[in-house]
Amino acid sequence: MDMPHIVMTKIMGNVGFLAILNLRKTCKTFRNFIDDVKPINDLKELRITLGHFYVKVEVFLDKNGYDADRCSFVSSYQQAPDDNTARGSRTREYPLHILPHYPFDHASTFSQRFKTYIQNTREKQENIFFRFQNLQAFLTNPYFKRWQLQYEDSEGDDMIHNILGRIPHEEQEKWFYGIPNSTEVLCIQSVYQTVWTVSFTRINLVDVPENAWVHWE
């Protein structure tokens, strides 16, 4: 397809997130275009729950309005009980195609910091890869507003404090990181409600509480 850039962007803006993923796999021209342009899509939130033997992915699409309480569909992947050796085949079961790989030059410092965190959790190698790829995609896509990670391992909470530093106001339990060349701030929150949850949310700078510390790096 030899179409003007603006026209292609307009088409991509109308096809929806799932169709973009399929379109991206048709040929390298589409793949490069989608990776470069990062078209606006209807994906609003992705919730990933990782257990020791399963991964659950909840996908929230903006269909006639975004509803944070109603996900569009869920993909669950569970290790077969007798599957102790087939690591390769198990890896293929993970929905790595859910998020494309985006170049992440400007977010590399931040994602490298979290790579340490992710690698230090007692997870299987496939899970670590899966989590890291999704974090990179979130950090580099301004249309992706929220990324949430849940884990059952209680050591995670100590680790995230070590990486992000102590919070000046303990009751706040949120970290704020300025995003270069943007009016948005990355808000990271760690909470425990039956499982540990770390959420990454893009918010406007004006919505940061007055006394909060914002890291700029």
Partner 1 sequence: MAPKKNSAKRPQPSTPKPSAPARIVKVQSSDGHILQADVRALLLSSTLAATIKGYDDENKPLEKLEVNNVVGFTLKLVLEWCEKHKEDDPAIAQAEKDKKNIFIPSWDRHFLTKLPMGNLFDLITAAYHLDITGLINYGCKTVANSAKGKSTEEMRELFGIPEPWEQPSTSTATWDD
User: Which regions of 6-128 does DSSP assign to beta strands (E)?
Assistant: 43-50, 54-61, 73-78
| Count of residues in contact with partner 1, rule CB under 8 A | 27
Which one, 30 or 77, has the nearer CB to partner 1? 30
Cα gap 127→59, rounded to integer Å: 18
Whether 177 contacts 110, CB under 8 Å: yes
Site stretch for partner 1 (CB under 8 A), options 13-21, 113-121, 143-151, 188-196: 13-21
Cα gap 56→93, rounded to integer Å: 12
Q: Which of 96, 163, 195, 203 is in the footprint of partner 1 by CB under 8 A?
A: 96
Asked if 63 is part of the footprint of partner 1 (rule: CB under 8 A), the reply reads: no
Which one, 55 or 187, has the nearer CB to partner 1? 55
| 142: its two tokens | 């301004």
Which one, 145 or 195, has the nearer CB to partner 1? 145
Site stretch for partner 1 (CB under 8 A), options 8-16, 50-58, 108-116, 193-201: 8-16
Cα gap 159→114, rounded to integer Å: 10
The footprint of partner 1 on residues 14-43 (CB under 8 A) is 14-16, 19, 22-23, 25-28, 30-31, 40
The footprint of partner 1 on residues 100-119 (CB under 8 A) is 100-101
**Residues forming a β-bridge with 193:** 195
Q: Which residue type sits at 52?
A: H
